[in-house]
Structure formats: C-alpha cells, structure tokens
A and B are shown apart, each in its own frame.
Chain A
Amino acid sequence: MNLNPSENLIDTATENLPGPAVSEKPGSPELATKIETRDLNFFYGPMQALFGISIKIAERSVTALIGPSGCGKSTFLRTINRMNDIIEGTRITGTVYLENESIYDPQVDVVELRKKVGMVFQKSNPFPKTIFDNVAYGPRVTGIKNKNELEEIVERSLKQSAIWDEVKDRLNSSALALSGGQQQRLCIARTLATNPEVILMDEPASALDPGSTSRIEDLIYKLKQEYTIVIVTHNMQQAARVSDSTAFFYQGELIEFGLTETLFRSPREKKTEDYITGRFG
C-alpha cells in the first residue's frame, strides 16, 4: 500500500520547540497514558481488519506491535495518526485518544494531529533535495523562514537522530547520496524537526544491515526519553530488544499486551507463545 502521498502531512512543523522532558523511569508502569484506544474496529470496505482493540500506551515508552502479516498491526498503527483516512472506503468505530483528545472527533484538525504524531516508514523516503532541505521542509511549511532558526532546528534534529557527525560537513549534498541506514535516520530527523509527541515506526529497520539496524535501535532507546514510540516490527528479537511493552495481534484482534520481558519469557496466551516461538506465522 503506497502511503507516500500523505507524507507531507506528517512532516509539517510547529514553531514552538520546547525542551525535552526526561523521565527517570521511561517505560515504567507509573507513566501516564499517552495513547488509548477503546473498542476500536476498522474496516476496509466490507472487510473488518481490527476487532474491538482496547489498549493503553504509556508516554515516553516504546511499544512494539508484533504479529503475522495481515494481522492488523500496521492498520492499527495508522489509526493513531489517521493515516488510514486517505484510503478510500475505510470506516472506523470506537475511540482513539491522544492524551484526553478523541482524535476522530469532527473538530480535530488532522494536519495538526499529524504534527503531534509523526511517522517513519519501512522504506526510507527522503525528498530529492539536500540533507538540510529535507529536515527543514516541515518547519518551512509551517512558516519558519528565519535562517538561524532553521539551522538550529536542523542541527538539533540531526543530532537527536544520531546522524549529525556523519553529515554536518555536507548538509548541502543530496539526501539520496546517503546510505540506506543514513537515509532512514535522516527521515527520523525530518520527523523530529516538526517536534512531535508520538513517533510511529512501521518496520523502520527491516531493509537495513545489522550495523544500521543497531544504530536505529540505539536511537529508539534514546528517543524514548522524550517521545512516545510505537513500532511495528517483524523482527522478534528487535521487538524484544527495543520495546518496553509488546502487543501481539492476530487476525485483527489484540491477543496479548504486556511488558516485553514477560511476554517473551512467559506469555499468557498459547497463540502468543506459538507465534513468538515460530510454531506458526
């Protein structure tokens, strides 16, 4: 499914760039709920893809969504920033809250929502522009023109996404000349430039070599100090390594949701166990 046309929507920026709020215990149970869904159902035309999903995702934590292909995990991920809206014939019932705001309420500005909830895709998709312009794209769209301010945002975003040292001397080179792993970190920087609260990642490292994958995973660990991250991954070890909580989806249902270390050691449900041990899927 090609979601590229909507990219611009999530790369737009806010003008305010407040400093990070770092939790001493990121991902711990006492953290407040950032995202909550209640009895969420989703339909692609006549086909129901999600069945009554109710889940609470803690702020400043990493939540991994796992499950076999077609289980609804990516669909669920896209409900969090209403990316599914752009697919014709889709329908949703139930509620998705971002903090206390019901994001499917008619008065919600979807563009504003996608500023708060950024997204990183499986395939890195930098614009055919310079490295600088890629990161500055979102802030510029929202009207930031001041060169110093833009430079500051670009530097901060590239530093946050752990790619600054590799590109600081060639900010005016084409982003397409970067390696796959660097392009993906650039896309993360582009998402961060809009100062989101939540970052959704749809298999962000599945096309990368082990070294680049490791850098993305280190980055996820660092970013959760400030952001709430929800990641779809087919790589079970990656889910186990990077996430605080894991949700297992199967045939559109949320089968099990819990602390990652518990789920991978002693899952409650037989289906979860069979999936994570490779007995099916």
Chain B
Amino acid sequence: MTEKLLEVQNLRTHFFTRTGVVKAVEDVSFYLEEGETLGVVGESGSGKSVTSLSIMRLIDKPGKIVGGKILFKGEDIAEMDEDRLLQIRGGKIAMIFQDPMTSLNPVLTVGFQIAEAVKTHLKLDDKAAMNRAAEMLERVRIPEARRRLNHYPHEFSGGMRQRVMIAIALSCNPQLLIADEPTTALDVTIQAQVLELIKGLSKEFRTATLLITHDLGVVAGTCDRVVVMYAGRVVESAPTHTLFKKPAHPYTQALLQAIPRPDEPPGSRLHAISGQPPSLINLPAGCPFAPRCVKAQARCRQELPPLETKGAGQMAACFYPY
C-alpha cells in the first residue's frame, strides 16, 4: 500500500460553549491521494469547514481537536509543534477561503501579500519574490500582472480577488490545496472561470485538492471522489460517478433529488427533505439522519450505523442502504 498524502483518522473536533459541547466533527475519517481532487459536501453545520480548519490546525478556543489523527505524509498534524506547523501551513498545505474580501489584507498591496508567502516558505529575496508574485498573477490570468502588483484588494472585483487568493495559495508549490467554498460568493459565470482555473492549475502544479462545497453540481464537474457529511459525521464516501449514479445513503439520495436541475422540465415538483438538521449539542441517539429519513426503522433510532464498505470504493453509514 502506498502512503496517502493525507489521511484523517477518527478526527473529533468539539467546541466547548456555555450551552454545552458542540460536537462539530465526530469520528471523521477519509484520505486523499497525491494529485487527487476530493470533494467534501454537506450543508451548513455539517462540520465540513471545521474539518478543513482542523487539518490546518486553525481551530481556536472554545474549539479543540479532542481526538484522532491527521496524517500528512505520515506526520501527525494534530500532534505537531508550532515551528513545524508554520513550515507546513501555507507552504506544503495552502488554503483558499470563501470570502476573498475578508481573507486578503485591505491595507497591503496584493504584490506584497503574495511576496510575503514566497519569502517565508521559499526563502527568496525581495526582488525574486516580487518576480514570483508577478508570475503567479499571470498564471491565474490577471491581465497586466506587473502593474496590478501595486494594487490593493479593493481595486479588484470579487472573481479577481479569488484569483489573487489562488495565486497566494499556489505560490509556494503546495502539495495539498484546501479550498473552502471557493466559489460560493461568486456569480455563476465567474464561478465557472474560477473552477476551471483551480482544476487547470492543480493539474499543472500536481497539487491534490480538498474542495469543500455545499453544491453537488460543483462536485460533479471537478472531483474524483466525494465525501458526504451530515451532522459532524461522514455518511458516505464514493468515487464521483458512483455517488451520483448509485448513492448508498438515504441522505445522499435525498440531497440529489432536492436540487433543481437546469435540464429538467419546468414546474416539476422538488423532492424536499422534511425537517431540519439536528442540533449538534443534543444529537439524537442512533443515526443522526434518522428523524428525517424515509427509510428509518426502529434500529436506526437506537444504534449508530458504522461507516462500512458497500460497493467498489463506496462506503456508507447506513443499515438500509440503496
């Protein structure tokens, strides 16, 4: 067995709030091979963003990683000391966030912000770093890259800012790119541009990508494999084609049916999922999806179904799959 680039094992991240312990991520395991694109899909509160922040060790109080391993090329990030972490974060593992306006520093030029990352991780001098910054802006197809180096984030449009973020993230040749809802704040035509760019560049730089999104449409066009999360847990993981063709978990099935598709006849009725996701403080016993599940039996309300292999490369946490 070859070593995986990233292997998350039984990760548990909890938030200790005044009203109780929020189990944002509970027993999450998945892996990522080199050069692969893995989609993590879920709704708000499913734990997908907390998972990605945990991988970067960016969880702040009252949150804490309380269990599990995050193996990056065999090294456990959860146990790493600050110095080693600083080498990896931004260098070997880079991240793109949802909102490019708040994740860029408004008082520094974009050239400075790209150069800063390059100087830290690639140990380049000022001049070489600026050259690298200009090269990266060109790579993300920002016109007149040289001149744009001296511009501030507010002088760029939303799509352009996200390109700048991508330029910063890829400037140090990371082996893993974590993109947390990178296109959610963008318009559809701009979303298409940015997704193409991420796809193209990650291939070119041979970067593995962890794409976090709520949009199954985005996953269909970009990912090799998908992990579906619900209420802090992984409920299904499968190759993209299998997941869309033969979803095993009733939640995945329901999610796929609930999306309006542009290629469906107008006026047709959507299959809504009744109810809402449970509170993460007071999770029901048994399967967290049971209260909303059409297939739920008595057993589902008492016992937690384990994540088991159901087909080729496909795993699901359900007693009554398909």
- Check if A and B associate: no
What is B's interface to A at a CB cutoff of 8 Å? none
What is A's interface to B at a CB cutoff of 8 Å? none
